[in-house]
Amino acid sequence: MTKAEFPPSIKSRPVYGQLEPRPGALHLLIADGEGAEALADLVAKDPGLLPKAHVLYTAGPKGADLWHKIEAMGAKQAQKAASIPTLLFRLARVLQDAPMGTQVYLTGSEGLMGQAERDIMALGFPHADIQKEHRGSTVRRVQCVHCKGITENVETDPFQCSHCRLHLFVRDHYSRRLAAFQGVNIDAEDKGQIPPAVERFK
């Protein structure tokens, strides 16, 4: 099973459900990595989605590539992107033509879901209307609160900011606007006292 159990956390930390088919004029299915399995489960519940479905897919942060499952699904349109940023460019174009009544389904890593959600919300789509189901990797996208740089695919806590090189601990505090968790300098008070990095996000 590719679903992760997230421990109870603070109220800004996103929670994820299970994708459910809803009536819609267009079904926008966006996934990375193991999210392909959640999409397969979704269309198995209602194959009627497929003639109105547009799938955007990219490999997961740890390399999981289940594109063959997407291809086998038989959606009206399906595209494989080289990376999340590439996928987001394509998403922006697809959203230009999205009709009223578009249903959005996001699945896969938190980084992919968060960034797609951010871009869709920017068009006035309420975040609560965007379905999300986590699958696969739990690596995090983290903003350094000091230099504001984003480090993708963070696996350990603490970790070193890829921009300013400060050692940061990873909070559960999450910004939908930035699609990122918050990283805060761990040795600001006791300089140089950096606990060993623990692999918290796999």
Partner 1 sequence: MSLDFKYGFDDFFRDETYCDDFTYRNSPAAIRRFPFPFDRDDYMYSVNMEPHVPGRKGSVFEKTFDVDEHYLSEMRDRARVLAKDPLRCQSLPHMTLAGWDLLELIMETKAREYPQWFSLTKDGNRWHWINRPLGIDQKFTFLDETTLPYGPLEYITRQTQGDFTLQDEREGTLWVDAGMVTTQADWSLDFDIGMNFHEWHAPVPLAHENGIFDRALKFLLKLQHGAPVRRFNWTMTVNPLLDTAPETYPEWGHMRTLLTQENMGHMMHLRVELQTLYRLPRSNAIAFDIRAYLAKFEELVTVPKWGRRLHRVVRDIHPDLATYKGFIRNRDAMAQWLSTYDDGAPTSPGWWPED
CB of 71 to partner 1, least distance (A): 37
Query: Are 188 and 146 contacting, i.e. CB atoms less than 8 angstroms apart?
Result: no
* Least distance to partner 1, CB of residue 161, Å: 11
Q: Is 68 in the site for partner 1 (CB under 8 A)?
A: no
Taking the least distance from each CB to partner 1, the nearer of 11 and 68 is 11
The yes or no reply on residue 184 touching partner 1 (CB under 8 A) is yes
Q: Which helix (H) or strand (E) holds 132?
A: strand 131-134
Question: How does DSSP assign 129-188, residue by residue?
Answer: GSEEEE-S---EEEEETTT--EEEEE-EESEE-TTT--EEEEEEEEETTTTEEEEEETTS
Q: Give CA–CA dist 155/198, Å, rounded.
A: 8
Q: What is the CA radius of gyration of the chain?
A: 18
Three-state DSSP class for 85?
helix
119 versus 172: smaller Cβ distance to partner 1: 172
Choice between 171 and 200, CB closer to partner 1: 171
Alpha-carbon torsion angle 171, 175, 176, 179, nearest 10: -70
Positions in 92-131 near partner 1 (CB under 8 A): 126, 128
Considering the rule CB under 8 A, would residue 8 count as an interface residue with partner 1?
no
Residue 163 found at the interface with partner 1 (CB under 8 A): no
If the CB atoms of residues 53 and 154 are measured against partner 1, the closer one turns out to be 154
Enumerate residues 132-161 that contact partner 1 by CB under 8 A: 143, 145-146, 148
Q: Which residues contribute to the site for partner 1 (CB under 8 A)?
A: 10-13, 126, 128, 143, 145-146, 148, 166, 171-173, 175-178, 182, 184-185, 188-191
